[in-house]
Amino acid sequence: MTEPHRDRDLTRRLKAKAVELGFDRVGVAGAQTPPDYDRFRAWLDAGRAAGMQYMERHAEARAHPDRVFEEVRSVVMVSMVYGEPSDEPPRPSLGKIARYARGRDYHQVLRARLAELFDWLKAERPEVEGRAVVDTAPLLERDFGRLAGLGWIGKNTLLIDRRLGSFTFLGALLVDLDLEPDSPHVTSHCGTCTRCLDACPTGAFDGPYQLDAGRCISYWTIEHRGPIPDEQADRLDGWVFGCDVCQDVCPWNRKAPAGRVGELDAREEWIDPDLVEWLNRSKGDWKRALRGSALDRARRVGLVRNAALALGSARDEGATAALIDRLSDRGEDPVVRGAAAWALGRIGSATAREALEWFRDDDDAALREAVARALESGAGVRPSSAGC
């Protein structure tokens, strides 16, 4: 079999164009079965994906990028740094939002730039066909990042770039050209470090490279729909969307640069948000606030649920009136009403308990149950979070 002709010069210029468009790193991998596919399957089979059924549904498609774009010959992997490290601890009654979600929705930002990159390539090679992917198709992006030489997969399961750290977004351009591939990153630079595993507030790692989504704060606050079980609710550690702990403690992020794409910079409203205001905010205002934001993934219901749980966990008496309003609103989503009941139970003041008593015999069976549990739990139950 003859080796395909690989266009070295085009690859070099494509990479330069990607950097010009704002990407911080670019690498190329050949179209192949990602080496971590078997590990991914084993993780799924062990039930570690919690309620993320879409992972199971599209599992087979991750076996090869040709399931995403049939004619693929090369996978161009790009990464982009986001945000800026901050050492300031959040105030107790305020919620924490993962750094990646504080700016404009990264899907939009990366997709627009990948489209520009593809347009440039099309001008160079009019016959080229391809597909851009930003978390939107079943592709093992981290593994392809490693294959394209961008970094190694750390014990926290994230791709780590020696220079950029792990606060990066990944995107891929799948094309039907034989570009010059990079050497895969074969070494790991975690060494004997276990900081991420030790710092996780919920002990979500079964061991290095083994994340149990069912114990991960990011899963519960972003992906999970419906009520959050009581034992998890007390362990969210003030996070209302995602969690950064396993990245914050990673030494490779200590000297990482700040992001250089302004659209990804944190918006004021997503830094130390006022959670009581979140509870009181109208649905129309939520719709406007979530436009163009990655927080929309959790929808208003998930975010208000998380806010109620964070306030309850912090036993924030100042939130009592807003929580009672959510509980009393019969037009409110049952998930939010249940979370408000849980939070009032945790606050446990006379006013909170009195409000709960009003709903002991509510028409909604699930709410009745949530109220009964909240009244039983009462005050004095300390959060089990270890903090970080």
Please say whether the beta carbons of 353 and 385 come within 8 A. no
Residues contributing to the site for ligand SF4 (CB under 6 A): 154-156, 160, 190, 193-196, 249-252
CB of 244 to ligand SF4, least distance (A): 12
Q: How far is the CB of 164 from ligand SF4 (least distance, A)?
A: 13
Question: Could you say which DSSP state residue 25 is in?
Answer: E
Query: How far are the Cα atoms of 159, 195, 374, 386 from residue 199, in angstroms, in the given order?
Result: 18, 6, 30, 9
Helices (H), 228-282: 230-233, 245-248, 275-280
Residue nearest to ligand SF4 (CB): 154
Q: Which of 7, 66, 135, 274 is catalytic?
A: 135
Strand partners, 28: 76
211 vs 279 by CB, closer to ligand SF4: 211
Q: Smallest distance, Å, CB 291 to ligand SF4?
A: 34
- Residue 248 Cβ, how far from ligand SF4 at the closest point, in Å? 9
11 vs 156 by CB, closer to ligand SF4? 156
Judged on CB neighbours under 10 Å (0-12, 13-18, 19+), 387 is: exposed
Q: How far apart are CA 239 and CA 241, in angstroms?
A: 6
**Cα–Cα separations (whole angstroms), residue 335 to 174, 190, 289, 367, 387:** 40, 40, 21, 9, 26
- By beta-carbon proximity to ligand SF4, the closer residue of 205 and 239 is 205
Q: Do the Cβ atoms of 75 and 239 come closer than 8 Å?
A: no
Three-state DSSP class for residue 11: helix
Residue 167 beta carbon to ligand SF4: minimum distance, rounded to whole angstroms: 12
Backbone angles phi, psi at 211, to 5 degrees: -100, 130
- Least gap, CB of 209 to ligand SF4 (angstroms): 9
Minimum CB distance to ligand SF4, residue 155 (Å)? 4
* Full DSSP string of 57-122: HTTGGGG-GGGTSTT--EEEEEEEE-S----PPPPTTS-EE-GGGSSS-HHHHHHHHHHHHHHHHH
CB closer to ligand SF4 out of 70 and 198:
198
Structure-token pair, residue 345: 């139970």
CA-based R_g, the chain, Å: 23
Closest to ligand SF4 by CB, 154 or 338: 154
User: Annotated catalytic, 135?
Assistant: yes
- Report the C-alpha gap between 369 and 259 in whole angstroms: 46
Judged by CB, which is closer to ligand SF4: 205, or 278? 205
CB 83 within 8 A of CB 257: no
CA atoms within 13 A on the CB side of 303: 31
- Active site positions, annotated: 135
